[in-house]
Every structure is written in C-alpha cells, then in structure tokens.
Amino acid sequence: MTTKYLFFTGGVVSSVGKGVTAAAMGLLLKERGFNVAVQKLDPYINVDPGTMSPYQHGEVYVLDDGAETDLDLGHYERFIDNRLTRVSNFTTGQVYAETIAKERRGDFLGGTIQVIPHITNEIKRRIGLAAKETGAEIMILEVGGTVGDIESQPFLEALRQLRNEVGRENCLFVHVTWLPTIGATGEIKTKPTQHSVAALRSIGISPNIIIARADQDVDKGLCEKIALFCDVEKDSVIPMKTADVLYEVPLLLEKLGVGELVLGKLGLEAKRKPNMRPWKKLVDDVRKPKPTVKVALVGKYVELQDAYMSVREALKHAALANGVEVEINWVHSADLEKDKGWDIVKKSDAVLVPGGFGSRGIEGKVMAARFARENKVPYLGLCLGMQVMCIDFARHVLDLEEANSSEFDRGTEHPVIDLMIDQRSITDMGGTMRLGLYPCLLQKGTKAATVYGVAKVDERHRHRFEFNNSYRADFEKRGMIFSGLSPDNRLVEIVELADHPYMVASQFHPEFLSRPMRPHPLFVGLLKAAKERAKK
C-alpha cells in the first residue's frame, strides 16, 4: 500500500493541543488496523531540545535509542503505545547541519545552496526516511509552532511539494486552531482562525480538515461559518472543546466520526472496527470518585508543569491502578531552603523528586529526601532524585558532612555522586549524556524486584553522573540497598532503604515508559505506599 500522509499544522496560538490531537488521531487509525507512524517537525534551530532549558521547551522526552526529543513524542507513545525512534523528530538545526555537511563534502559542487530546493529536499528526505524505516501505511506529521512563524515556512513548503510528489489523494492537511472568547459577552470568535487559514493558503496549502479548539462548546453554526470562510467542507470542521481528562480526546474525536472522516478522505477503509472500550473504561475510572492521595513534587521548574509532563502522567496512571486520585502539589525546591513550602510537604502522603540539572535548588531537594527518610514518608527519586537521596544518606546517616555530587561541588571531599568515567573527556553538551535504554538487573527480595515482578528490566536514561562505587560498602552497611545494577555490576541503577515503607529511587527515568494501560511499577509502588500512609 502507498503511504498516506496526515499533516498537522497549528493556527492562531501554540499550546492548544495539536500534539495530543495528532496522537489521538494516531490511536483511532491504529485501532482501525493501520500501521501508523508519527513524526514531529520542529522549526527551531537547536539540533534537539536536549540543550534547552525546560522553561523554554518543557520536558525533554527520551526514546529507546537515546534520542532527546520533543514532549509531544511522549503523547504519541502514550496514546498509540508504540516505541518511537530517532527518525520521529527532527529540527531545523538537524536539517541545516546535514545540508551544510553535504556542501562541505562537495556533494553540491558548483551549486548555490538555497532553502528551495536544498533545505526542502532535506526535509522531504527525512520524512521519506521515517516512512521507510517504520513501514507506515499512514504517516502523521506534526509541524511544530504556528502557521505564520518565519521558522516554519520551509517545513510547510516541503509539505506542499510532498503533496504533489506523492499525490494529492494521499495527503490530508489537518489544521488545529484556537477559537478565543471575548470577555464581556463570552462570544466565540472565528476571525483568528480565518486569518491563520488565509496565511496557510497564501503558501499554497488549503486545509482539508479544521479542528477548532475552544474552552467552550462550539455550535454547528460556528462550524458552518468557519467552513464557509475557510473553504472547507461543512463536515470537516471539527469542534473540540477542551477535555478535562486528557485520555478522553480520542473518544471525543471518535464520537465526532473523525476516524471515518479521515479514512474516507484518504480513500481508505477501516480494516477492523476500532475497540475504544479500554479507553472508555479508563476515562470512566478517572471520573469515578476516589480517595485522594497527596504527592509533593519537589522540583525546580515547577512554574512550568510541562517540564514534568511524563512524571505527571505516570503518577496519574499509577493512581488509577491503585484506585485513588492523585493530587500533585508542586513545591519549589529552592523554597524549602528558605523555610517555605514545608507545610505542603508535611501534609503529603508521598514525596517525589524528579530529574534536573545544575545546583539551583539542590539543597532543598536533599532536604526533601531527608524529610522523607526520617519521617518514613514514601519517596520516589528519579535520576537527580536518586542522587539527592544518596547525598542525604551520606551526610546524615554516614556523617560525611561534605558529601555531594561533583556536579554541584567539584572539589567535594566525598563525591558520593560522581561523573561517569566515559563522561570525563567529553566537552560538548549536546547529545553526549548516557542516553536511552539500558538493562538493569533487579536484586532478589528487594522492593524494586517485588514491584516489577521480573528479574531484568530495560529503562531509559539521561544523565552524566552516577553513584560512586567506592562508597557502596559503607552505604550498604548502614541500610541502603542497591536493588538494581547494570549487568556488569558497575553502575548503580536503583537504590532503596531497608528500614522504610517505600524509599526507592532510580538513576533512569521510569516516567518515559509509563502508559495509561500499563502504569510503571515504580510509580504504582509509590502510590500503593502513599495510599497506605493516607489510610493511617
């Protein structure tokens, strides 16, 4: 079968759920028996989001092969439940880097290198690569940003060209826009949508489907108006009110008949009836009243919750598995250092310290780990969260007052967390960490082995520092258990405390592998312990 293409563009403003909509659409098509692949095209010039502050970009989502990618890939994996690879995300930075390298090699000798055709060709080559590598019957391509951005123009131009190369009948443009409401009257406005479609048409693309996002119900009349002004068919304007439950989005699209609409326009027929029952049950379960457990999430990017997108989702998945509602209370670790925010930590049933980089707020995280240890509050540490748990243990149990990670104190007398040997000679910052899937052997009889219920797991990593093995024996003597180790025994991957209901932390990022239907065992374990504590 020839590959069919579904292009997602965004209009009016960003952050209206284009990624979630694309992911949900992928699910509807997968449920109809198609091999669906997704690809995110990011117009910024960074080679990947790995070097960007989470404040700029939200979470960096890591794939099995170690690609550091856009957080929308997390949505894709959680909805479509596939394992993506490096080809699923590329940026202007990668496109230019490749083109310039080719120019230096002399691949274009004699030619003047231009946006059209050289840059657009490279964009199309990468799309083709993904189609080939995944063997997709339907490729979903999401262009980051908003139509009208200078950066996204070459991408849109490449898609326009691609449409002619693969045939119009094999392509659909889905434009996701935002309908604002005007304060005093609460009137919903379609004008920005009209303008964004006009901008799209000025570069030769007419959308086939418009997904009109809004915070309110969008009535039929408004959809017809959008259809008229934007030159799309009436049934192709899909009203999408903001869903209170993320995982309801595919159900809403399904209810509106979008799955069939898309297949019809692509000249395809469903290979099987979609089974949305598990999703329906999931959403029903989310809505059922349940006892609440409170989790204090002690981080440094808490003002922008997107920075912890996968952590938040993993907590929600695990809460459902435990039949509880999770209330996430965001605590700024730097506040704890100034004696603020402790009321939130103290009334929580669990503490979670996620990953992070740099010294700001680090002492507050160590304090949070200490609090959880001393008060036997369930604790889950993710990457940096494991490292601070070890720092607290060294300082306050082993009495190594100076203990630290050499990331925060280069000359520390007790670098209980230290740079990995293979990291020592690396000077480049981009893409040079220990990244992606690595195996971990679970030690029998430990909490980690119990929650996982298997002897070996593969988990995704993103770090430069590790537990310093010269302290292993001392830690063990005082009740720290190294419950997960690399197969060669060299790297500590999971630690836990013996004398504690649940103080477990991993050097890897379990949140990236949590799925709505397959919550991650380490998170399930945390919320189980939290639930027990809440009962008391």
Residues near ligand GLN (CB under 6 A): 355-357, 383-384, 407, 462-465
| Nearest CB to ligand GLN, comparing residues 62 and 147 | 62
Taking alpha carbons only, the member of 244, 209, 204, 207 closest to residue 223 is 209
Q: 155 near 43, Cβ under 8 Å?
A: yes
Q: 140 near 183, Cβ under 8 Å?
A: no
Residues in the chain: 536
For residue 42, the minimal CB distance to ligand GLN (Å) is 21
Tally of CB atoms within 10 A around 386: 28
401 by Cβ neighbours in 10 Å (0-12 / 13-18 / 19+) ranks as exposed
| Nearest CB to ligand GLN, comparing residues 66 and 148 | 66
Residues labelled catalytic? 383, 509, 511
| Nearest CB to ligand GLN, comparing residues 20 and 457 | 457
For residue 482, the minimal CB distance to ligand GLN (Å) is 17
Q: 523 near 314, Cβ under 8 Å?
A: yes
Tally of CB atoms within 10 A around 16: 22
Taking alpha carbons only, the member of 386, 387, 328, 339 closest to residue 364 is 339
For residue 415, the minimal CB distance to ligand GLN (Å) is 12
Task: Determine the Cα–Cα distance for residues 39 and 130; give it in Å rounded to an integer.
Answer: 8
* Dihedral-angle region of residue 255 (phi above 0 means left; psi in -120 to 50 means alpha; beta otherwise): alpha
CA distances from 116 to 106, 121, 131, 204, 507 (A): 18, 8, 22, 15, 45
Q: 508 near 452, Cβ under 8 Å?
A: no
Task: Determine the Cα–Cα distance for residues 419 and 405; give it in Å rounded to an integer.
Answer: 8
| Nearest CB to ligand GLN, comparing residues 161 and 305 | 305
Taking alpha carbons only, the member of 119, 30, 118, 42 closest to residue 76 is 30
Q: 61 near 42, Cβ under 8 Å?
A: no
Measured from each CB, the residue nearest to ligand GLN is 355
| Nearest CB to ligand GLN, comparing residues 31 and 459 | 459
Residue 371's H or E segment, with its range, is helix 362-374
| Nearest CB to ligand GLN, comparing residues 142 and 407 | 407
Task: Determine the Cα–Cα distance for residues 178 and 213; give it in Å rounded to an integer.
Answer: 5
Q: 461 near 472, Cβ under 8 Å?
A: no
Concatenate the DSSP letters of all residues of 299-344 into one string: ES-TTSGGGGHHHHHHHHHHHHHTT-EEEEEEEEHHHHHTT-SHHH
Residue 294's H or E segment, with its range, is strand 292-299
For residue 242, the minimal CB distance to ligand GLN (Å) is 31
Give the 3-state secondary structure of residue 352.
strand
Name the token pair of 120.
Answer: 């657009």
For residue 436, the minimal CB distance to ligand GLN (Å) is 13
DSSP secondary structure letter of residue 29: H
For residue 519, the minimal CB distance to ligand GLN (Å) is 21
Task: Determine the Cα–Cα distance for residues 387 and 465; give it in Å rounded to an integer.
Answer: 9
Instruction: Fill in the amino acid letter for 65.
Output: D
For residue 373, the minimal CB distance to ligand GLN (Å) is 19
For residue 463, the minimal CB distance to ligand GLN (Å) is 3
Task: Determine the Cα–Cα distance for residues 183 and 162; give it in Å rounded to an integer.
Answer: 42
